[in-house]
A and B are shown apart, each in its own frame.
Chain A
Amino acid sequence: MRTSLINQIIVYAIIITGALLFVFPFIYMILTTFFLGTNTLPKPDQVFSVNINFTNYITVWNKNNFVNYFMNSVIVTSVAMVGSLLLGALTAYGFARFTFPGKELIFRLFLLTIFIPGVINIIPQFVIIKEMGLVNTYSGLWLVYIAGGVIGNVFFLRGFFESIPKELEESVLIDGGGNWRIFWNIYLPQSLPALGTLAIFIFQGTWEEYFLALTLIKSEALRTLPIAILMFNDKYSTNYGQVFAASVIALLPVILLYMTFQKKFVQSGYNEGGVKG
């Protein structure tokens, strides 16, 4: 059955309008980064008449230890990502491939905690990290990021692991390999799309995490990018061009990752996986 031309045009008009609503704020933000005035709010007609230049980007990159904060975020995020993936995959493998008494009970207990807002746990997590003497260290931050994310990541991965056919294990078993070999040689390679999707979720969640990092990290040199950007905003709030140039730089890694891999994404809820913070 063919849809009439008028209906086709209406449908296109609606979804293009929708797309413009989602894209326009980004375009307006990028145009603002080309605006060089520093003391006033750029007026819309000023924003639309800017000349493309990268002055603000260069200034921001060299100002206020921006590179330092960027690298801090790279270190914090990459360790948290690898740790979370490994621990999540190991635990999910335990749930997916083994039978043991109390398994479903524990899984249910885990599930019940998944929707509890992370902010409730920030106070006791801070107290516990303080008692461990890990305030103001990345180790403290990593512990909470990685351990706090296990449940969500297991919830996400278990289903994928359970869909891996048992027959694949036989080749490993014939070669005399055990559970670890099955994990490394069968389960991890077979679920690469799921692991990749989860990796991007974790990257995004950790890269933008603000509250826990602000609570646990006290010294200026160790701060991560989100904190640095808000501080920068407080300090130079009228310098919109520079604030948004810094923001665009911070957004870029996540958006590039997403654009590159989005065709391979597997579906899940936005509450699952990643970091709870």
Chain B
Amino acid sequence: MSSSFMSPEIRNAPHTRKSRLAIGLRQWMAVLPFVALGFIGTAVFVLYPMVRNIMISFQDFSIMPNATNAWVGFDNYLKVFQDPNDRFFIALRNTFLNVAATVPVNWFLAVFFAVLINAKFVKFKIAFRTIYYLPIVTSWIIIALLFKYLFADGDGGIINFILHKQLGIISEPISWRNHYWSAMVMIWLFHIWKTVGWGVVIYLAALQGIPKDLYEAADIDGANVMQKFWRITIPLLKPITLFVVINLINGAFGFFPQVYFITQGGPMNQTHVIPSLIYIEAFQNMKFGPASAMGVMMGLLVFILTYTQMKKSEDSACFKEDR
């Protein structure tokens, strides 16, 4: 099969190109049985959907059978920008707020807890790691139900109960999801609580990879704990820190269940992020065109973000060697 497939091109090609082409084709034939299904699947269900999404964003699209799905140029984009409630801009603003509010806290807590758990005298390290990682393995939906219950209105919610009745920090119980800022804080706490364990586990693994003799040498030179931390631990963790921060930024950028399951975008569409807006616009309001237009713009944004981050991290090569 392979020889008949490659013969016409090869006969017509000049000699050197012919042999390189032949080698290339032979290599492809060898690898194809292993990668063909994966490539086809990716092409049909990952890459083509991206193209299709762009197409839908330029159509007056309907899922009804026999819909004409006429091409409408930039109408869908205009609709997004001319929304009287400015939902897209609010969602965009919230996205950046989410990154700014959660990434530094998440990162700091991860390093902080990992360094403390890694201290030489601490026993039951694995037990601590397991507990800190527990929220990561649980489902977003169930934890969202749980958080809505913990943050329930009135003194019946345990958070209000502690803050108001027990500690007296707040003068009256907060209706967390009824106000913009309290809803945002609740979403951030939910996200941080749910994901901080990931950073802790990554840093714990990295800390264990630092050679012990570096610290022993520092001990001989009379270095104290803080000097060792700043001069050995932090510099050696730099590539890991880059990896962690990139993942945290992307995680905060991609808020979706965090918002969808906690506030559904409320109050008054104030806490939406782009993914939650896309989903509700498409599958509740059946406006596929504008939803796709938002998807295209978000995709471009993430693409630019990822591309610059990948370029930056190429020097440290942390994506290849740290595994």
Contacts and interface: CB of A to CB of B under 8 A. Distances in A.
> Do the two shown chains form a genuine complex with each other?
yes
Interface of A: 1, 3, 8, 11-12, 14-15, 18-19, 21-23, 25-26, 28-29, 32, 40-44, 47, 87-88, 90-91, 93-95, 98-101, 106, 109-117, 119-128, 130, 143-144, 146-148, 150-151, 154, 159-160, 179, 183, 204, 207-208, 210-211, 214-215, 226, 229-230, 233, 240, 243-244, 247, 250-251, 254-255, 258-259, 262-263, 266-271
Nearest to B120: A3
A95 B35 contact: yes
Given A100-B28, A247-B146, 16 more contacts: A19-B128, A22-B193, A25-B146, A25-B193, A29-B146, A29-B149, A91-B38, A98-B34, A116-B302, A120-B275, A127-B52, A147-B41, A159-B320, A229-B142, A244-B145, A270-B195
A26 B56 CA distance: 43
A32 B158 CA distance: 12
A263 B126 contact: yes
B56 A22 contact: no
A98 B30 contact: yes
B131 A94 contact: no
A41 B198 CA distance: 32
6 contacts: A1-B219, A11-B116, A19-B131, A120-B298, A230-B141, A270-B247
Closest 4 CB pairs of A and B: A147-B41, A91-B38, A208-B139, A94-B35
A113 B47 contact: yes
Interface string B29-41: 0110111011101
Contacts of A251: 138-139, 142
A102 B99 CA distance: 36
A98 B295 CA distance: 36
Interface stretch (B11-19, B74-82, B86-94, B249-257): B249-257
A124 to B, nearest CB: 4
Contacts of B50: 113, 116, 120-121, 124
A60 B257 CA distance: 25
A90 B35 contact: yes
A114 B41 CA distance: 15
Interface of B: 24, 27-28, 30-31, 33-35, 37-39, 41-42, 44-50, 52-53, 56, 63, 113, 116-117, 119-122, 126, 128-143, 145-147, 149-150, 152, 154-158, 161, 193, 195, 197-198, 201-202, 205, 219, 225, 243, 247, 250-251, 253-254, 256-257, 275, 278-279, 282-283, 288, 291-292, 295-296, 298-299, 302-303, 305-307, 310, 320, 323
Contacts of A204: 137, 139
B282 A267 contact: no
Looking at B27, B34, B282, B302, the one whose CB has the most chain A CB atoms below 10 A away is B34
Contacts of A124: 48-50, 52-53, 56, 292
B18 to A, nearest CB: 14
Nearest to A2: B121
Contacts of A240: 149
